[in-house]
Amino acid sequence: MMSNPGASQQSKFRLNPKPTYSERMSETRGEIRRIMKEALRTYRPMTSPHSMLTLRVGHITGDEVATMHWPTYWKDVVTRYHVIIEGWPEDVPFRNLSDVSNLGKLEQLLRGWQSGTIRFRRISDAEFALLNAQREAGGSAD
């Protein structure tokens, strides 16, 4: 007769569980996504080129519900809002975070977004035209 029938199940639970590699990856992806979503919607100060005044111009996209969609980044973020991601590390492929299977790379991205070295930046019509021409000519798309 067993004195504690749940004893074999109890060994699976830890008092202070350390997240698994997979859980850490999911948490890191989630935090990056949260930062990116907030960054698309956060107020950014902008200095007018015709004055010394710093203007509060609203959200970087002007859209309260702007979101990042990796497969349609060019159309839905760059073309629509004239906003690009700047500072993406060259050693991390620019793709959906779900497809980044290395925790170290995800942590590198998280540190970049947290520090501001990776950020969204509004681009001018002229810069957009140049980037679009490069993209159409087979150059860098992102």
More confident residue, 33 or 1: 33
Check residue 56 and give its pLDDT.
38
Q: At what angle do helices 21-41 and 103-115 cross, to 10 degrees?
A: 30
- Report the DSSP beta bridge partners of residue 56: 45
Instruction: Give Dmax (Cα) for the chain.
Output: 86
Alpha-carbon span 79 to 106, nearest angstrom: 26
Q: Are 119 and 87 spatial neighbours (Cβ–Cβ below 8 Å)? A: yes
Convert the pLDDT of each residue in 50-94 to its tens digit. 444 333 334 688 788 888 889 999 999 999 999 999 999 999 999
d(CA 34, CA 139): 30
